Amino acid sequence: MNTTDDSSSNHNRATEPASEPANSSSAPVAASETMSIPLDAPRPRSRGLTVMVIAALGVVFGDIGTSPLYSMHTVFSIHDGAIAPTEQDVLGVISMVLWCLILIVTVAYIGFIMKAHNQGEGGILSLASLIWHNLGRKSNRAGAAIILAVIGASLFYGDSLITPAISVMSAIEGIEVADPGFAEYIVPISVVILAVLFLAQRWGTGSIGKAFGPIMVTWFVVLILLGVPQIVQNPSIFRAFSPTYAVAFALDRPFIAFVAMGAVVLAVTGVEALYADMGHFGRKPIMLAWCMLVLPALAINYLGQGAMILREPQTIDNPFFHLAPAWAEIPLVVLAACATVIASQAVISGAFSVSRQATRLSLLPRLRVVQTSKDQGGQIYMPTVNILLFLGVLTLVLVFQSSGSLAAAYGLSVTGTLLLELSLFLLLAHAVWGWSIVRVGALAFFVGGLELLLFGANVVKVFSGGWLPLIIAAASITIMLTWRKGSRIMWGRRADMEGPIRDFVDRVRLSHIRRVPGVAVYPHGNPTTAPLALRNNMEFNHVLHEHAVIITMKNVGVPHVDTEDRIRVSDLGDPRDGIVHILCRVGFNDSQDVPQALRLAAGSCDELSFDPEEATYMLSVFRIEKGDDRCMPRWRKGLFRFLEKFSANRTHALHLPPARTTVMGAQAEL
């Protein structure tokens, strides 16, 4: 694993905590910003496609792949049996489920939305970032896209907390079917399993996918084996592929059909995580896994459940487990328990991706990122996010005690995210890709209309549990918008303190300040301003080193940058001034090693006539203190200062030698 700081040249705890978004019109290119590369650039890959497909099955499809366990049972249990095991109701419900899978997952996400990736990364913040860059930072539509993305990402965080809690508890509750006395052990065992699951995240999604992948392959094969015998006995169930049955059901009993949509949405929960997880494996492995195995397995199993219910109406109490012969019930419960635990992985991995994108948009503090793959830039582990997710999930398990208590909260965050992602995609497709109004309108009508119905059906559950994801989302929105505003304020104040680098160099030339022997290196994320440490060294010590080197580490969004392509050296004014700037371009699998970059620069440029091993390193510190200004309400300023404490420490990420590193800087009030 390669441990990196996603903002390693901009942030330290209490050190340069406030960073303007790298895409701000007033901000220079920051060290954490990735270079612009074509959207269709191939993702480097050394492992076979088959291995990637299996790994994607273990991480991406756990949530949506386990939906047959409870979707049909939930539909037929609403309103005390308002939906009966009659031909009209069964065909109508199965038709709804199949067309949700076809329109929302296959057409909208696999067919269109996953094409909108930002250097391989998916998710709602990735969509907003594409719109922001392509429409112009001052565009009203770009600003609206960021706000919608913040709401969508916040809803996704709610899903990331609820899904592991409800999945693991439902898995353990399944074992209770074999032994009713098992009830008192459900919560303790759930806590242990969740602890192991979150501890395993440090191994990386690639390793987790290798472990979980074969289990999920087995799961989907079992779904097929369970469904096929029932379909063979009642092949007329294939009529459910006709959308006319869903329409007829809705027209006959509109209110019941509308309420049923609130349960039908369970069949597509996980599709939002599928998009957010794209950076972990790439679009092609996910697309192949869905089309070749996942969709056929889900469709066959739902058709099998429908065929069985038509033949044996009494099986509506738990249709999935009734598919299995008596001898296979216990093994199926165990396999289902494993699969539902794995279902949590999709949203956990997605939360890592969304969090890293949020830091790049300055919506969250810069957090420590561990790169867990040498080939896939999206395969990451974020310790802080992992800990916070675990604590949140643990709280839900201990408070709600059962999956049934959380069931009403499940769905609102998913459907809200689906609507927002589709809206942003349609904006991107029309305004950037040049789609016609007719094409955009068709997708909005068929897919957007269906998603709007699903969202409306879940809104009615707000008072019975749907309030939970709304509270989580509200807290996340508050945090993101507070950090974004506070970082903009502090970035501006810091830039004012630093001043333009050109003016500083001119001042040095005119002042004839005393130069002392040696090399001083200033890691700095903003090449257009003078590092605080450099400025303070001159103003307070009244000396400058003979060689002053400003170095910026820049991540360019590829796995590796060849040594000969990494370094760019530029003089800041007259070469005799002895002040130079080094831009070091690194890939996501390259170490952000400042001393190594200095050695490369010295070896490739005759102008750098010094021994890098004798260099001293001067880190710029920018501390935030409590202030009385009115730029933000007092509570928001306090929240910003608290969030700043989570900013990643860059000292170790830059591999600076402690014995030759000095910290200098300034402070500002907020």
Non-local (6+) Cβ contacts of 614 within 8 A are: 518, 519
For residue 467, the tally of other CB atoms under 10 A from its CB is 14
Token duo for residue 366: 């810069």
Q: How far is Cα of residue 140 from the mean position of the Cα atoms in its chain?
A: 25
Name 121's bridge partners.
Answer: 118
The per-type count for the chain, helices as H runs and strands as E runs, is: 27, 9
Residue 232 has a pLDDT of 94
Task: Name the pairing type of β-strands 380-381 and 543-555.
Answer: unpaired
Residue 351 has a pLDDT of 81
pLDDT < 50 stretches in the chain: 1-47
Structural domains of the chain, with CATH: 50-365+382-465 (1.20.1740.10), 499-669 (no CATH)
Instruction: Note the pLDDT tens digit of each residue in 566-624.
Output: 888 887 766 666 788 888 887 655 667 888 888 888 877 766 777 888 888 888 777 77
Distance CA 261, CA 572 (A): 64
Residue 667 has a pLDDT of 65
